Amino acid sequence: MENADQVLPGAIAKKEAIKDTLRARAGRLNIKASALRLIIDEHERLRVSTGRRPTLEQLVRSVDAATDLLRREAQKQSSHAIQANFMAKNGQHMAEAGREAGDYLKVRA
C-alpha cells in the first residue's frame, strides 16, 4: 500500500490540472467550464457510438438533447427538494402539536 500514498497525490494533481485547463479553454471561448465539459462529453459519446468524429449538426442536436435531459432532471430534483422541505416542516408542526396535546392532557389529568 506504499504505492497508494504516491498515486493519490498524483491523481489529485492531475485532476486539478485538468480542471485548470478546462477553465482556461472555456474562458477563451467565453463559456462556463461546465458547458465545455458537456460539449466534450457529448462529442466523445458520439465519436464512440458512430466510430467517427460527429458533424457540428450532430453535436448541436446531442448537446441540445443532453441539456433538455439535464433541465428535466434539475426540475425533478427541485420538486423533490420542495416536497422534502414541506414534509420536514409538516413533521415539525405535527411534533409541536403532539407536544402541546400531551401537555394539555397532562394538565387536565
Instruction: Look at residue 14 in the predicted model and tell me its pLDDT.
Output: 81
For range 76-103, the mean pLDDT: 95
Q: pTM here?
A: 0.63
Mean residue pLDDT of the chain comes to 89
pLDDT in tens, 5-64: 666 777 778 878 888 888 888 888 898 989 999 999 999 999 999 999 999 999 999 999
Length of the chain: 109
Q: Residue 90: pLDDT above 60?
A: yes
Examine residue 22 and state whether it is found in any structural domain, yes or no: no
DSSP 19-77: HHHHHHHHHHHTS-HHHHHHHHHHHHHHHHHHSSPPPHHHHHHHHHHHHHHHHHHHHHH
Name the domain count of the chain: 1
- In whole angstroms, give the CA distance from residue 55 to residue 98: 63
Confidence of residue 4 (pLDDT cuts 50, 70, 90): low
Name the one residue in this structure whose C-alpha cell is 405535527: 94
For range 82-86, the mean pLDDT: 95
Examine residue 40 and state whether it is found in any structural domain, yes or no: yes
Instruction: Look at residue 3 in the predicted model and tell me its pLDDT.
Output: 62
Instruction: Look at residue 53 in the predicted model and tell me its pLDDT.
Output: 93
Examine residue 61 and state whether it is found in any structural domain, yes or no: yes
Examine residue 1 and state whether it is found in any structural domain, yes or no: no
Provide the domain limits for residue 40: 31-108
Examine residue 48 and state whether it is found in any structural domain, yes or no: yes
